[in-house]
Amino acid sequence: MKLSYRVGVVAVALACSGAAFASISKDEYKAGKDRVAADYKAAKANCGSLAGNAKDICVAEAKGREKVAKAQLEADYKPTEKNRYDVAAAKAEADYAVAKEKCDDKAGNDKSVCVKQAKAAETRAKADAKANMKVAKAGRAAGEKSADARKDAAEDKRDADYAVAKEKCDKFSGDAKDRCLNDAKARFGR
């Protein structure tokens, strides 16, 4: 499976899951770090049989997978918007490094265009990731503001309803009025 395809699949999964991330335990995090290191070592060893630019591409892919896996592990351990951004940025940088190595097979203007296209793809991916991070932060802030507004509105309604209930008690006198006021206070948390 191509790295860029995996990036797309993971990006869609991240977008769909939103803030429903659950963090992993410290033990899972440590085991994940060991697994990432072992995977990188094995992938780099597989590049040993290659030569020239094919080897360079293989090594760039191995380094890219390691960088992305580390960023993803960190995001799983501490699920924040910043860490999710770091995953997307790591993917963009990994794709760029591999694409740039593949450009080495070309010469002249073709190589120059290839490198510019790779850099443009990285810039677009990072810009999208930054925008997603800002949108997530803005959404969280808006959610907090709307929750505050709903709380304030509920308080205002309760105050108004209490004033009505209190006014209704004015038609009574003595103990009946006291009972009515006590009922209103209990009902509206006064």
Q: For the chain, give every domain's residue range.
A: 3-144, 153-187
Ranges in the chain, pLDDT < 70: 1-22
Give rounded-to-5 percent helix, strand, coil for the chain: 85, 0, 15
178, two tokens = 């006291």
* Beta-carbon count within 10 A of 84 CB: 23
134, two tokens = 């800002």
Query: pTM of this prediction?
Result: 0.64
Residue 107: per-residue pLDDT: 94
Angle of helix 81-103 relative to helix 108-169, nearest 10 degrees? 170
Torsion of CA 91, 99, 52, 34, to 10 degrees: 0
Residue 143: per-residue pLDDT: 80
Residue 123: per-residue pLDDT: 93
**φ and ψ at 131, to 5 degrees?**
-65, -40
H or E segment at 156?
Answer: helix 108-169
User: What's the CA gap between 14 and 88, in Å, rounded?
Assistant: 10
Sequence-ordered alpha helix ranges (H) in 78-107: 81-103
Residue 1: per-residue pLDDT: 41
Angle of helix 3-17 relative to helix 52-77, nearest 10 degrees? 10
Residue 66: per-residue pLDDT: 97
Report DSSP state, residue 47: G
Residue 178: per-residue pLDDT: 94
Contact 105, 139 (CB under 8 A): no
Q: Count of residues for the chain? A: 190
